[in-house]
């Protein structure tokens, strides 16, 4: 084993780097999904489309600022979460609230939302993939290969955003409301927590996190209207392995899935990586149906 | 279904089937072939509805069962030169096993986890189609036009490309699925499945092993879906990865919701309407899936019981 | 009850315990139930009564201890297997198939028994129908066959719950606060029904209404703080008399002196669903 690592060290190192970047971004996207499930007990299938919208908006900002990558990037960091969060809040009020957050109806409704967003983007943005220039370009030179510095920045910013969300959860009044609603919405309501607006805000925050992830990722890969599906499925894998609704589980699972994705992608190929991730899910479910950190769902 | 009415049900279903059979003699060529397609896809939706409508389990990965049937049958014909019926038989057997296996794992979860897990298994099936491209020929798939031998019954032989054969084969498939689903719903097993949909814990506390019943429902549902896939491959001579995509798992959900969840005729009605609607809208926009999205949202908000569900609510309480 | 039954109880638990994290909900419970008796468990809220019967019925798995039914260890049975072996639980909060008709509710319970006895599926619907009608008649709601369970008045929902328990042909029927939320006349009806049933099955009753407990129970088990405080509290000589108890329509016997809570065959009035006045006295004097 160690001899093998010595011989393949550059590749192992690359896999670790790539895997960590994937893990950070994945954690950010899956956190949004997990937050929404934890507080509202619903699964948002349109979550991947919020990510895609973030990427597309980043492209729009990039063009709006006249091809100034850094300015466009900073603008997108504000515009994307605000726009996407607003859209999410609107869909919460117009759709989810009306169906009373019934779990299955919500899934059907968000599938509908998925198609609506995706097809509107197809109509106005077009079917082709569009590149966005990275705001900062530099290479970090390792002894064996150079690595994109922007990827490391993506990982770093994702980490900052994860910390920020955690801070929001434990320090702010909204965070307190969220945790109270998560424990028991009925009781929270009797204690004066405005659960209706908490739901809207949580849904908006979840969508905003996905949109931010989209902004961060778009310079690495291009923006196209179908890019939402893959992160959605990976996030599902993450939340299932981690246990639905458990934020700690989500983070741990994001790293398991991200790093193993990095390794298999480097040593084998990405399609296989995704298939194996599903097998991993099956294995977790056979051993522990509620996921690694999930409590019994009653 | 508030009351069981086996006799009325039998008469209604017979009426529908006779009507569909007679339709072939009056339909113009274009609609004739559209109806063949609708009946095959409606069979897929009938299979889906056994799980969603009568057991209360929403699967988001049913395309894996459809495409299992489709690919196994297609590969048997394309790579191994089998004729239609043996290929269909092998497809059927393998779908039964795949459904059982997937069910055994996926049914360990419940609620939304079940949805997510089936969605992921469905996606894995799609990726497998891309990955094993020496058999599946990847995204594009393959046609069976050259390889498929005509069906020989006694002294007559039927070509799979003959429109009349297509229509009647599709009709036969749909008849089998419709009759099976009605028999199931009116049987004691169907009663238990409905009980699981209504209140699973109570069903357990009546002494039923609900896991086994759910596994049975999922296996039957997957098998009918797979059968529809096999027949689809033979009748329309094409096997491709689009039939394993997520959209193809969402499709029966949409058809069933529109036609009426938990009504045996709902899948046919929903499939028919959606097929014509998409046919119509794709004529003037490439973003025709927008319609799909809008209908899903509107159904959930405004008419969760679907068309046949409304009919049952208003006029025919006995409708199964 | 005879000596044999006392030696070989229908149900026997040994050191049965259930912990939820640090909370001991049930602790070291030894409970013997004899065949054919009506046993009441009483105690304050939170004493662990519902947890105890949930362990018996398999809704919860015990943390330690054992449960024997007819000397057979059934501790590790799943809920559905426990029901299959004869322990039937009726829910504290009515848990019906509220979108289905009363007929369907009872038929679900009936058809499983038929499946087991004959081992061959399918049973004829006509056969199921006969049994469903018999049971609905027994609980006094034969006219409600086609009514959607959720639309029934509350008292009838409780009766339907018992009907489903009956239809599962239990050896041990566990009733968890069956009279909670019932009107007085409904309680009377209920008491009569339970007494009638006790001829063919053992009944374990959790009840807060002491009138009902005193009226029905032959022995009372007191639970407090997760433990059994008192296991034998004989109220009277037991159900030695009245052999004609189960035969409906035999009329009402005068109450023998000195047996204040004796359960004579007032049940005879029950099948038509109209409790007699003497019966009402029994429950509420």
Alpha-carbon distance B283 to B278, whole Å? 8
Alpha-carbon distance C27 to C229, whole Å? 11
How many other C-beta atoms are found inside a 10 Å radius of the C-beta of residue A175?
15
Instruction: Tell me the mean pLDDT in the region C131-142.
Output: 84
Let me know how long chain A is. Answer: 298
pLDDT tens digit string along B10-46?
888 888 899 989 888 888 888 888 999 999 999 999 9
| Chosen domain end from C169, C196, C212 | C169
C256, part of any domain = yes
Q: Reply yes or no: is the peptide bond before residue C122 cis, omega within 30 of 0.
A: yes
Residues A73 and A137: beta-carbon distance below 8 Å: no
* Lowest mean pLDDT, pick from A205-214, B47-56, B207-216, B283-292: B283-292
Residues in A touching B127 (Cβ below 8 Å): 271, 274-275
Q: How confident is the model at residue C114 (pLDDT cuts 50, 70, 90)?
A: low
Alpha-carbon distance B52 to B48, whole Å? 6
C91, part of any domain = no
Instruction: Tell me the mean pLDDT in the region B94-122.
Output: 89
Alpha-carbon distance B251 to B116, whole Å? 16
B294 at the A interface (CB within 8 A)? yes
ipTM of the modeled complex: 0.84
Q: How far is CA B98 from CA A280, B65, B94, in A?
A: 18, 8, 6
For position A90, what pLDDT does the model report? 92
Residue of B nearest to A45 (CA): B116
Domain count, chain A: 1
Residue A254 structural domain: 2-287
For position C175, what pLDDT does the model report? 87
The DSSP bridge pattern shows strands C38-42 and C219-224 to be: parallel
Subunits close to A (at least 3 CB pairs below 8 A): B
Segment 147-176 of chain C within 8 Å of chain B by CB: 148, 164, 168
Q: How far is CA C244 from CA A213, C140, C199, C249, C264, in A?
A: 78, 20, 10, 10, 9
In degrees and rounded to multiples of 5, residue B316 shows phi and psi of: -120, 85
- DSSP-derived 3-state class of residue A119: helix
Is the per-residue pLDDT at C108 higher than 50? Answer: yes
Instruction: Tell me the mean pLDDT in the region B57-74.
Output: 94
Is the per-residue pLDDT at A39 higher than 60? Answer: yes
pLDDT tens digit string along C172-213?
888 888 887 778 887 888 888 888 888 888 888 888 888 888
A295, part of any domain = no
Alpha-carbon distance A1 to B204, whole Å? 50
A255, part of any domain = yes
Helices marked H in chain A: 2-7, 9-40, 47-64, 69-91, 103-125, 149-171, 173-183, 185-190, 195-217, 229-242, 247-267, 270-287
Residues B60 and B256: beta-carbon distance below 8 Å: no
- Chain C nearest-CA distance from B185, in A, is 13
Do B205 and C96 lie within an 8 Å CB cutoff? no
Instruction: Choose among B108, B111, B128: nearest Cβ to A285.
Output: B108
For position C115, what pLDDT does the model report? 53
Instruction: Please tell me which of A193-197, A288-292, B197-201, B228-232 the model is most confident about, judged by mean pLDDT.
Output: B228-232
Residue C54 host element (H or E): helix C49-57
- Chain C nearest-CA distance from B3, in A, is 7
For position B215, what pLDDT does the model report? 95
Is the per-residue pLDDT at C242 higher than 70? Answer: no
C139, part of any domain = yes
Is the per-residue pLDDT at C278 higher than 50? Answer: no
The single-letter DSSP state of residue A46 is T
Q: How confident is the model at residue C7 (pLDDT cuts 50, 70, 90)?
A: low
Mean residue pLDDT of chain C comes to 73
- Chain A interface, Cβ < 8 Å to B: 37, 42-43, 95, 98-99, 103-105, 107-109, 111-120, 122-123, 127, 229, 233, 236-237, 239-240, 244, 271-272, 274-275, 278-279, 281-282, 285-286, 289, 297
Among candidates B55, C179, C96, B293, which has minimal Cα distance to A91? B293
Q: How confident is the model at residue C256 (pLDDT cuts 50, 70, 90)?
A: very low
On whether both C278 and C197 belong to a single domain, the answer is yes
Alpha-carbon distance A97 to A79, whole Å? 25
The single-letter DSSP state of residue B107 is T
Residues C129 and C145: beta-carbon distance below 8 Å: no
Instruction: Please tell me which of B177-186, B307-316, C3-12, C151-160 the model is most confident about, judged by mean pLDDT.
Output: B177-186
Q: How confident is the model at residue C260 (pLDDT cuts 50, 70, 90)?
A: very low
Residues with Cβ within 8 Å of residue A283, at least 6 apart in sequence: none
Mean residue pLDDT of chain B comes to 88
Instruction: Choose among B119, B127, B286: nearest Cβ to A236.
Output: B119
Instruction: Choose among B111, B301, B304: nearest Cβ to A297.
Output: B111
pLDDT tens digit string along C115-129?
555 555 556 777 888
| Chosen domain end from C135, C169, C203 | C169
Instruction: Tell me the mean pLDDT in the region A121-148.
Output: 83
User: Which residues partner with C72 through β-bridges?
Assistant: C69
Q: How far is CA C20 from CA C16, C27, C227, in A?
A: 14, 11, 15
Is the per-residue pLDDT at C247 higher than 50? Answer: no
In degrees and rounded to multiples of 5, residue A185 shows phi and psi of: -60, -40
- Chain C nearest-CA distance from B1, in A, is 8
For position C62, what pLDDT does the model report? 87
Residue C29's CATH number: 3.40.50.300
Residue of B nearest to C83 (CA): B207
> How many inter-chain contacts (B to C, CB under 8 Å) are there?
75
Is the per-residue pLDDT at B94 higher than 90? Answer: yes
Residues C87 and C56: beta-carbon distance below 8 Å: yes
On whether both C107 and C190 belong to a single domain, the answer is no
For position A182, what pLDDT does the model report? 81
> How many inter-chain contacts (A to B, CB under 8 Å) are there?
119
Q: How confident is the model at residue A54 (pLDDT cuts 50, 70, 90)?
A: very high
On whether both C131 and C188 belong to a single domain, the answer is no
Alpha-carbon distance B65 to B88, whole Å? 14
- Token duo for residue C256: 């023998």
End-to-end CA distance of chain C: 27
| Chosen domain end from C169, C195, C215 | C169
Alpha-carbon distance B240 to B229, whole Å? 11
C104 at the B interface (CB within 8 A)? yes
- Chain B nearest-CA distance from C215, in A, is 28
The single-letter DSSP state of residue A131 is -
Burial group, residue C117, by CB count within 10 angstroms (0-12, 13-18, 19+): exposed
Q: How confident is the model at residue C270 (pLDDT cuts 50, 70, 90)?
A: very low
For position C251, what pLDDT does the model report? 37
Alpha-carbon distance C280 to C282, whole Å? 5
C53, part of any domain = yes
Q: How confident is the model at residue B62 (pLDDT cuts 50, 70, 90)?
A: very high
* Lowest mean pLDDT, pick from A168-172, A287-291, B73-77: A287-291
For position C122, what pLDDT does the model report? 55
Q: How confident is the model at residue C264 (pLDDT cuts 50, 70, 90)?
A: very low
Is the per-residue pLDDT at C277 higher than 50? Answer: no
C191, part of any domain = yes
Do C122 and B188 lie within an 8 Å CB cutoff? yes
**HSE-up of C138 (CA within 13 Å, CB side)?**
22
- Token duo for residue C13: 């638990």
C188, part of any domain = yes
Instruction: Tell me the mean pLDDT in the region B251-261.
Output: 90
A12, part of any domain = yes
C160, part of any domain = yes
Strands (E), chain B: 142-143, 151-153, 156-158, 238-239
pLDDT above 70 coverage of chain B, percent: 99
pLDDT tens digit string along A78-104?
999 999 999 999 999 999 888 888 888
Alpha-carbon distance A216 to A202, whole Å? 21
Domain count, chain C: 2
For position C123, what pLDDT does the model report? 63
- Token duo for residue A6: 């010595």
Alpha-carbon distance C132 to C150, whole Å? 18
Residue C133 structural domain: 98-169
The DSSP bridge pattern shows strands C202-206 and C172-176 to be: parallel
Q: How far is CA C37 from CA A129, C198, C264, in A?
A: 77, 7, 15
C-alpha Rg value of chain B to the nearest Å: 19
Residue A38's CATH number: 1.10.3470
Helices marked H in C85-209: 102-118, 125-138, 154-167, 184-197
C267, part of any domain = yes
Do C111 and B188 lie within an 8 Å CB cutoff? yes
CA–CA–CA angle B1, B186, B313 (5° rounding): 10
Mean residue pLDDT of chain A comes to 85
Alpha-carbon distance B95 to B135, whole Å? 17
pLDDT tens digit string along A205-261?
999 999 999 999 988 888 899 899 889 988 988 888 888 777 788 888 899 888 888
DSSP string spanning B165-177? HHHHHHHHHHHHH
pLDDT tens digit string along C59-88?
888 888 888 888 888 888 888 888 888 888
pLDDT tens digit string along B140-158?
888 888 887 888 887 888 8
């Amino acid at each position: 084993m160690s001899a093998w690592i010595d011989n393949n060290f550059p590749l192992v190192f690359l896999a670790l780097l790539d895997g960590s970047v994937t893990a950070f971004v994945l954690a950010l996207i899956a956190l949004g999904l997990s937050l929404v499930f934890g507080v509202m007990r619903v699964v948002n299938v349109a979550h991947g489309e919020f990510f895609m919208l973030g990427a597309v908006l980043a492209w729009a900002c990039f063009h709006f600022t006249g091809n100034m990558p850094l300015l466009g990037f900073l603008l997108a960091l504000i515009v994307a979460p605000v726009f996407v969060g607003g859209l999410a809040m609107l869909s919460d009020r117009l759709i989810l609230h009306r169906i009373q957050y019934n779990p299955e109806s919500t899934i059907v409704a968000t599938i509908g939302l998925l198609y609506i967003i995706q097809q509107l983007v197809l109509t106005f943005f077009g079917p082709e993939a569009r590149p966005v220039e990275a705001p900062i370009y530099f290479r970090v030179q390792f002894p064996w290969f150079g690595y994109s510095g922007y990827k490391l920045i993506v990982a770093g910013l994702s980490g900052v955003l994860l910390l920020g969300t955690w801070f929001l959860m434990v320090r702010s009044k909204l965070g307190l409301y969220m945790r109270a609603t998560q424990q028991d919405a009925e009781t929270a309501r009797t204690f004066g927590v405005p659960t209706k607006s908490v739901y809207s805000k949580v849904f908006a925050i979840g969508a905003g996190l996905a949109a931010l992830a989209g902004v961060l990722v778009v310079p690495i890969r291009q923006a196209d209207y179908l890019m939402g599906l893959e992160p959605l499925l990976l996030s599902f894998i993450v939340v299932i392995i981690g246990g639905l609704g458990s934020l700690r589980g989500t983070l741990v699972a994001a790293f398991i899935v991200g790093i193993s994705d990095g390794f298999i992608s480097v040593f084998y190929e990405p399609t296989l990586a995704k298939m194996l991730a599903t097998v991993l899910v099956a294995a977790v479910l056979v051993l522990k149906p509620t996921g690694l950190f999930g409590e019994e769902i009653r | 279904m508030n009351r069981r009415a086996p006799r009325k049900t039998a008469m209604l279903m017979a009426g529908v089937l006779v009507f569909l059979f007679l339709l072939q003699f009056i339909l113009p060529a274009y609609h004739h072939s559209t109806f063949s397609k609708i009946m095959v896809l409606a069979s897929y939706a009938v299979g889906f509805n056994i799980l969603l409508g009568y057991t209360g389990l929403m699967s988001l990965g049913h395309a894996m069962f459809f495409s299992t049937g489709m690919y196994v049958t297609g590969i048997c014909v394309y790579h191994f030169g089998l004729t239609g019926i043996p290929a269909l038989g092998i497809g059927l057997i393998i779908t039964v096993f795949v459904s059982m296996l997937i069910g055994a794992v996926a049914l360990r979860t419940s609620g939304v986890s079940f949805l997510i897990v089936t969605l992921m298994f469905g996606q894995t099936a799609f990726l497998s189609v891309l990955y094993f491209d020496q058999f599946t020929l990847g995204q594009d798939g393959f046609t069976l036009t050259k390889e498929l031998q005509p069906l020989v019954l006694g002294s007559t032989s039927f070509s799979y490309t003959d429109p009349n054969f297509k229509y009647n084969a599709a009709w036969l498939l749909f008849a089998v699925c419709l009759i099976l689903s009605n028999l199931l719903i009116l049987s004691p097993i169907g009663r238990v499945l409905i009980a699981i949909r209504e209140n699973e814990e109570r069903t357990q506390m009546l002494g039923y092993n609900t896991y086994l019943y759910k596994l049975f429902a999922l296996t039957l549902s997957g098998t009918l879906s797979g059968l529809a896939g096999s027949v689809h491959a033979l009748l329309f001579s094409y096997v491709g990865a689009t039939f394993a995509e997520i959209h193809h798992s969402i499709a029966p959900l949409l058809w069933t919701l529109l036609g009426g969840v938990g009504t045996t005729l709902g899948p046919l009605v929903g499939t028919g309407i959606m097929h014509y609607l998409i046919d119509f809208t794709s004529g003037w926009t490439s973003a025709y899936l927008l319609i799909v999205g809008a209908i899903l949202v509107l159904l959930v908000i405004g008419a969760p019981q679907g068309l046949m569900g409304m009919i049952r609510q208003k006029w025919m309480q006995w409708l199964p | 009850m005879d000596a044999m039954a006392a030696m070989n109880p229908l149900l026997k638990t040994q050191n049965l315990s259930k912990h939820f994290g640090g909370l001991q909900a049930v602790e070291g419970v030894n409970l013997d139930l004899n065949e054919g008796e009506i046993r009441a468990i009483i105690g304050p809220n939170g004493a662990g009564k519902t947890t105890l019967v949930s362990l018996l019925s398999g809704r919860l798995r015990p943390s330690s201890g054992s449960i024997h039914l007819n000397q057979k260890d059934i501790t590790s049975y799943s809920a559905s297997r426990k029901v299959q072996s004869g322990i039937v639980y009726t829910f504290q909060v009515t848990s019906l198939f509220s979108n289905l008709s009363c007929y369907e509710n009872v038929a679900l319970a009936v058809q499983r028994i038929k499946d087991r006895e004959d081992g061959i599926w399918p049973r004829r619907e006509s056969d199921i129908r006969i049994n469903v009608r018999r049971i609905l008649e027994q609980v006094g709601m034969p006219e409600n066959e086609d009514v959607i369970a959720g639309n029934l008045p509350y008292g009838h929902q409780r009766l339907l719950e018992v009907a489903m328990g009956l239809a599962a042909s239990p050896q041990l029927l566990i009733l968890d606060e069956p009279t909670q939320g019932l009107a007085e006349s409904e309680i009377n009806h209920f008491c009569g029904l339970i007494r009638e049933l006790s001829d063919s099955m053992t009944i374990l009753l959790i009840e807060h209404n002491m009138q009902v407990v005193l009226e029905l129970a032959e022995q009372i088990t007191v639970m407090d703080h997760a433990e059994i405080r008192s296991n034998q509290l004989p109220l009277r000589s037991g159900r030695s008399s009245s052999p004609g108890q189960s035969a409906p329509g035999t009329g009402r016997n005068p109450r023998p002196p000195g047996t204040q809570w004796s359960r004579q065959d007032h049940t005879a009035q029950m099948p038509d669903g109209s409790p007699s006045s003497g019966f009402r006295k029994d429950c509420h004097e």
